[in-house]
Amino acid sequence: MPGTRGAWHLIYLTPSTPCGRGELWLWSLFMKIIAGALGGQHIPGKPNAKLRPTSDKVKEAIFDQLSARFVADWSKVKVLDLFAGTGALGFECLSRGASHVTFVDHHLQTVKAIQKAAEHFNLTAQTEVLCKGALEAIRWLSKRGDRFDLIFLDPPYREDWVIASLNALRDNPLLARQGYVITERDKREVITSVQALWKTESERRYGDTVTAIFSQ
């Protein structure tokens, strides 16, 4: 077969505060694609205080694990990026050769930004962008018959979205055979109630962030 992360996981920007060069520089670090065909390029977009982009440290660690242990051929990988936010995880997959990415976010402004980024990178044929809540999208995609090799869950921290999403994925099968769910959460979040239903392939901590890779 084949949702801020890292030590700096919050960008304190408000709509009423002008975005200076320092904030733009920091934002650009989080929006950089690390490797692949688009490696070194930045996802177009403006700083948004509502989003929590993944730090390069955490993102690189996740994709190093995936490439080393879980993904033999990116060209055969179909990806679901729930709580997509900036789309950074999905675009990183596409840059590395993923065949298709479905982005899901419930904010219309965020969805439009992802669509524009896909156009910017000439990747519209390899993407689908859904303006839906994560749980609604899981049910809808399952009814449509979709299956994904990688499912990313990076929801807002400390709101029990990881538990709710993993439960929904058990009730509404979306994971392909030999597929993996990659989650990100705050270190204070306890998910033992749902972990028992999944096989934990990997779990690592980076500052306040915990990443985990699950299979069925």
Q: pLDDT tens digits, residue range 163-197?
A: 999 999 999 999 999 999 999 999 999 888 888 88
Query: Which 3 state secondary structure label does DSSP give 126?
Result: helix
User: Is residue 70 situated within a structural domain?
Assistant: yes
- The CATH code of the domain that includes 28 is 3.40.50.150
- 119-142 tens-digit pLDDT: 999 999 999 999 999 999 999 999
User: Is residue 103 situated within a structural domain?
Assistant: yes
Q: What pLDDT, on a 0 to 100 scale, did the predictor assign at position 147?
A: 98
User: Is residue 4 situated within a structural domain?
Assistant: no
User: Is residue 6 situated within a structural domain?
Assistant: no
User: Is residue 78 situated within a structural domain?
Assistant: yes
C-alpha 56 chain-centroid distance: 13
Q: What pLDDT, on a 0 to 100 scale, did the predictor assign at position 56?
A: 78
Q: What pLDDT, on a 0 to 100 scale, did the predictor assign at position 136?
A: 97
Q: Which residues pair with 16 in a beta bridge?
A: none
- 3-24 tens-digit pLDDT: 333 322 222 222 323 344 444 4
Rounded CA-CA distance 179/147 in Å is 9
Among 10-19, 72-81, 203-212, the least confident range: 10-19
C-alpha 5 chain-centroid distance: 11
- Domain extent at residue 194: 21-215
User: Is residue 3 situated within a structural domain?
Assistant: no
User: Is residue 29 situated within a structural domain?
Assistant: yes
Count of structural domains within the chain: 1
